[in-house]
Amino acid sequence: MGIKLTQAEEDMLRGKNGEACKVAMGVLLRLGNALGAQEFVRVSSVQCMAHYGSLHDAGLEWLEKLGDMGGRCCVPATQDPASIPFEDWEEMGFDKVYADKQQRLAAAAKKLGEVLTWSCTPYAVGQVPRFGQNIAWAESSAVSYANSVIGARTNRTPAGMAVCVALTGRVPKERMYLDENRAAAVKVNIRDAGELTELDYNTIGIMLGKFAGTRIVAFDGIPESVSNEGLKYLGAAAASSGGVALYHVLGVTPEAFREDPFRGQKPAEEVTWTRRDIQTAQDALTTQNPGEVELAVVGCPHYSIGELIKLADLARGRKIKKGKEFWVYTPFETRNLAERMGLADVFRESGVRILASNCLVISPFPRKYKTLMTDSAKFASYLPSEHHVELVYGSMADCVNTVMN
């Protein structure tokens, strides 16, 4: 039994909304039937991908083809960070052919009518869904944040599929769009851990992904005072070490605030993590043979304005040591706010480089550093294999103290 179409969806499939919409609906219909969906749901927003580091030539040609056929987004659609820092790529030594292809992807996204935020944190740059609202986001950390912290509904939407959803406003109704698939299956108790820091939430996220895989977890023992940044990092790390798209925190996140996230069922598995467990996992994120740290990289997911304020407070009056660098990844909008607040002056004076709307995970590495340091468990999970580097894992303050006088 295939997907049952509404009249509006049949019209799209017949080309009444244009050739690009027809092609997109055809793709979604085949995918939906393969996934066993019964119907489509309408979405209020989409987060696409338009970075060359993942899409390569095939993705570039796909987006350009849809644009040439007259495709236009019918719902607000943003995209993940770019594979080059648009304003710094030449100075930093990025290959021109590679940069030109990323620029073509940016032009294709613009032609399709996407909102050019270039961020893995769309919820921080104007794309904020409501509780229970259906969306279709691509970036794994954003998917986790939307499902878990906001209580919106989205699967991890593949890049080629996401642009089709943006053109039609429809996505197959399966997995995270269904009530019965959002219940917790396993439970994690946090005990005797003391005050949890943002680095701890990063680390707990790595532990979660390895433990849960794709299962939905409910946490007991995470305090109500946990920051949005802490939850952001927890979800981002869990999506990089595993496939966690939704987690619950008892008494904190919306679907576990007043209701039982287990829906009356007993957890299939239950574990308890203590400070010792967290410390062991933290230590393991530093690679086995790090040398002297040459570069500190932070902002994965993108730093918020609150995090830039903390970083400026730590960096004020200090200078980067000779032969070392400090890179910060953040959206254009957050960088612009930092300029208005005077934070960017602090960074310039100290030697910190802000790389707006870029990400090192999906970028070439234009300079040959052997040992990096980061406060991001997602960076720590990906960068050693992506860029063949040694890595030291520590807090924001650790990063500042390591590369600054």
Q: Which of 262, 284, 306 is the last residue of a domain?
A: 284
- Identify the pLDDT of residue 352: 98
Structure tokens at 13: 């499939």
Domain count, the chain: 3
Q: Which of 284, 305, 334 is the last residue of a domain?
A: 284
* Partners of residue 33 on adjacent β-strands: none
**Alpha-carbon 259 to chain mean position:** 27
Statement to judge: residues 222 and 113 lie in one domain: no
Q: Is 220 left (phi over 0), alpha (psi -120 to 50) or beta?
A: beta
Statement to judge: residues 188 and 175 lie in one domain: no
Statement to judge: residues 338 and 373 lie in one domain: yes
Structure tokens at 52: 């060359």
Concatenating the DSSP letter of every residue in 62-102 gives: HHHHHHHTT---SS-EEEPPBSS-TTTTTTTT--HHHHHHH
For residue 249, give the CATH number of its domain.
3.40.1060
Label residue 192 exposed, middle or buried (CB < 10 Å: 0-12, 13-18, 19+).
exposed
Residue 233 C-beta-side C-alpha neighbours within 13 Å: 27
Whether 82 and 31 have beta carbons less than 8 Å apart is answered as no
Whether 316 and 394 have beta carbons less than 8 Å apart is answered as no
Q: pLDDT (tens digit, 0 to 9) for every residue of the chain, 405 residues total?
A: 799 999 999 999 999 999 999 999 999 999 999 999 999 999 999 999 999 999 999 999 999 999 999 999 999 999 999 999 999 999 999 999 999 999 999 999 999 999 999 999 999 999 999 999 999 999 999 999 999 999 999 999 999 999 999 999 999 999 999 999 999 999 999 999 999 999 999 999 999 999 999 999 999 999 999 999 999 999 999 999 999 999 999 999 999 999 999 999 999 999 999 999 999 999 999 999 999 999 999 999 999 999 999 999 999 999 999 999 999 999 999 999 999 999 999 999 999 999 999 999 999 987 789 999 999 999 999 999 999 999 999 999 999 999 999
Q: Tell me, yes or no, whether 290 lies in a domain.
A: no
* Partners of residue 220 on adjacent β-strands: 189
**Which residue matches tokens 């987004």?**
73
- Identify the pLDDT of residue 218: 98
- Identify the pLDDT of residue 382: 97
**Which residue matches tokens 């040398």?**
291
**Which residue matches tokens 């009530």?**
179
**Which residue matches tokens 């969906």?**
37
**Which residue matches tokens 């919409």?**
21
- Side chain identity, residue 197: T
**Per-residue CA distances from 276 to 241, 281, 285 (Å):** 20, 9, 15
Structure tokens at 139: 């970036």
Concatenating the DSSP letter of every residue in 113-161 gives: T------S-GGGTT--PPTT-B-EE-SHHHHHHIIIII--B--B--HHH
Distance in angstroms (rounded) separating the CA atoms of residues 238 and 123? 19
Label residue 1 exposed, middle or buried (CB < 10 Å: 0-12, 13-18, 19+).
exposed
- Identify the pLDDT of residue 366: 78
- Identify the pLDDT of residue 368: 85
Whether 255 and 217 have beta carbons less than 8 Å apart is answered as no
- Identify the pLDDT of residue 71: 98
Distance in angstroms (rounded) separating the CA atoms of residues 99 and 89? 7
Statement to judge: residues 303 and 205 lie in one domain: no
Statement to judge: residues 17 and 138 lie in one domain: yes
For residue 88, give the CATH number of its domain.
3.30.499.10
Statement to judge: residues 209 and 131 lie in one domain: no
Q: Tell me, yes or no, whether 265 lies in a domain.
A: yes
Domain extent for 310: 295-403
Structure tokens at 396: 């924001």
Q: Tell me, yes or no, whether 1 lies in a domain.
A: no
- Identify the pLDDT of residue 166: 98
DSSP annotation of 180 reads: G
Q: Which of 133, 149, 179 is the last residue of a domain?
A: 179
**Which residue matches tokens 């749901």?**
41
pTM: 0.97
Statement to judge: residues 224 and 94 lie in one domain: no
Torsion, Cα of 180, 13, 43, 360 (10° steps): 100
